[in-house]
Every structure is written in C-alpha cells, then in structure tokens.
Amino acid sequence: MSAPDRYFDNAGRDDVLSGGVKMIPIVTQSGTFKVWTKRVGNNPSLKVLLLHGGPGGTHECFEAFDSYFPGAGIEYYYYDQLGSWRSDHPEDSSLWELDRFVEEVEQVRDALGLTADDFVLLGHSWGGILAIEYALKYQRNLKALVISNMMSSVPAYNAYARDVLMPEMDPAALAEIIALEASGDIENPRYMELLIAQHYVHHVLRMEVEQWPEPVQRLFAHMNQAIYVKMQGPSELGISGDATLAAWDRTGSLSDIEVPTLVIGAQYDTMDPAFMAMMASKFPHGESLTCPSGSHLAMYDDQETYFAGLIKFLLGLDVGSRTDS
C-alpha cells in the first residue's frame, strides 16, 4: 500500500536519534548495510517487532501504537526495513526480493535478542506477507504472530480489487485511471487526484486527506518508490502481473504455522475482510478480528476496535493453555 510522494508534501522530522535506537548491520549478497530500529517500553516476556507496509514504506504508520502499547505494558520495536526511511538505501534492485527480506528480519531478531519466549511479529500490509514468510521458515523463534490488513494470496487480492472495489468506483473515473496506468502516465497529478477521491478516502484511510494524521502523511512522503514499484508494481488497484509479488499465495501453507496467530481485517479495507476472517481458521491456533469502521489503516480510522482486540490477544498469550502447544 502506497501513495506517490509527489502528492504529499515532505513533512519529515529529523529527530535526534536517542534512547532505544539501534542500527543493526544486515549482511546481504551485495554487502553489509544498516537498518534502523527503536525499542519502546520494557517487558521481559512480550516484545513486538513491527513490520511496516509498502514495500518501501516506513515505521511511521505505527506511531499510533504509542497511544496504546505503553499503557498496556507491551514492549515494541519500530523498524525501517532496508531501503526505507532511516535505514541504508542501497541502489541495488537485486536486494528487493522476498526471501532476502525474510533473512533480514531474522538478522534483526537475532541482534535484538528476541526469542520464542518473548518474540511476537506483527506485519501490516506488505509486512503481513513478510511476517507469513518469516513464520513459515523461522516459527521456532516466535511466540506469536499478527497479520494486519493483508490477505495470504495476491491473486485473491487482485480479484477482490477487480470484482468488488473497482465496480464501486465512478466508471468514467475508473476508465481514466486505467488509461493513465496503461500509458505509464502515473506521474500525472490527475492520476493521484482520481485515486484519492475514488479509492484512498474510502479504502485506505477513511478521512478527508487533509485530515490524515501527520505520521501517515510522513509515511507517504518517505515511501521508497523504487522498491514499491519493483515488488508491487505501479498500480494502486492491485499488484501488477510483472511485479515480484504478483503470484505470491501462501493460503495453503497457513496450517503449517502453529504459533498463536491473530488476523486483523477491516470492513472497508483494500483487502477482502471475509478472506482475512477465513485465514484465521486455517491457522491451528488462529483468531480473527474485524474492524467494522476501519479501512486499510484501521489503526487510525477504527482505533478502538483495532487496539482493544490486539492488546487482548497479546496480553492473553501467557494465559491458560494458549502457549502449551
């Protein structure tokens, strides 16, 4: 999920890095680079690593968590993936592959000292894809998993956009959007103007764009479009057929993830809420949370539901038999 930075003014803050910040070296096939992390809170048995969306997004969309997690006693980690905002920005497109990002997350986990006794991985949007892939390879290191606003199948996501979301749009506006994409003219200001009116304020964040919270505006201003386009494609109405993630589908593998898992969806999401509820039933220890007033950024437009359900799940991990398996 992204919006071109040509629309939003750069409202970035160059805060002094202090308290809890750790730059972690990441070894790749193209050399060693550093990624930015920041710890908030202290809980020896509950530590949540946040995987942002995009690809190429930033940790900034998670700043809403500051209003909820500290009061609940939850330790959490902001993290900009390689190529994103405060982390290194290597100009090597071979790095923007799903398997390499999985290994990056594992190196971050190891550097932060997170273990199966305390480590919860929360992925939002593209971060949900990354979290599922990480769990399929490294669930031995996980205490629990949270998939926020992401379907486990890109083809199913594209079908939902084509069959449900697009028909809801004004036909003339949709035709113009499709024509601009087909001609490669997505730098045209008209493209973003149409998308905001027809799609963003209905399914990405259900507020007038002028009222979008400052962290969200910073997220879009700092989006790395090179990573986004390679992995997701240029379209905002699905993932393009020639993009890295176009064929990704792990629905049939969800039953292999045995750690407690919460799937969060939203009624007005860009993703199919019924599909995300179904996903929860595929996990051996899955739970579903649907935000009735929320969209893709439900942590902002349906905060009460989103955080009440998420915090209940996290604080319940050590209660009863949930962790016995």
**DSSP character string of 257-323:** --S-EEEEEETT-SS-HHHHHHHHHHSTTEEEEEETT--TTHHHHSHHHHHHHHHHHHHTTTSTTTT
CATH assignment of the domain containing 112 = 3.40.50.1820
**Residue from 125, 152, 153, 295 carrying the catalytic annotation:** 125
Q: Which pLDDT value is given to residue 322? A: 46
* Residue 324 belongs to some domain of the structure: no
Q: Catalytic site residue 125?
A: yes
Q: Catalytic site residue 253?
A: no
Q: Which pLDDT value is given to residue 18? A: 65
- The model's confidence at residue 187, banded by pLDDT at 50, 70 and 90, is confident
Mean local confidence (pLDDT), 136-165: 98
Q: Which pLDDT value is given to residue 4? A: 37
**Residue from 269, 272, 301, 302 carrying the catalytic annotation:** 269
* Residue 325 belongs to some domain of the structure: no
Q: Tell me which residue range forms the domain holding 62.
A: 1-319
List CB contacts of 75: < 8 A, sequence separation 6 or more: 39, 40, 41, 42, 43, 46, 47, 48
Mean local confidence (pLDDT), 179-198: 93
* Residue 301 belongs to some domain of the structure: yes
Give the tens place of pLDDT for each residue, 218-273. 999 999 999 999 999 988 899 988 899 999 999 999 999 999 999 999 999 999 99
Give the tens place of pLDDT for each residue, 160-179. 999 999 999 999 999 999 99
Q: Over the chain, what is the mean pLDDT?
A: 93
Q: Catalytic site residue 249?
A: no
Give the tens place of pLDDT for each residue, 12-41. 333 334 689 999 999 999 999 999 999 999
What percentage of the chain has pLDDT greater than the value 90?
A: 89
- Count of domains forming the chain: 1
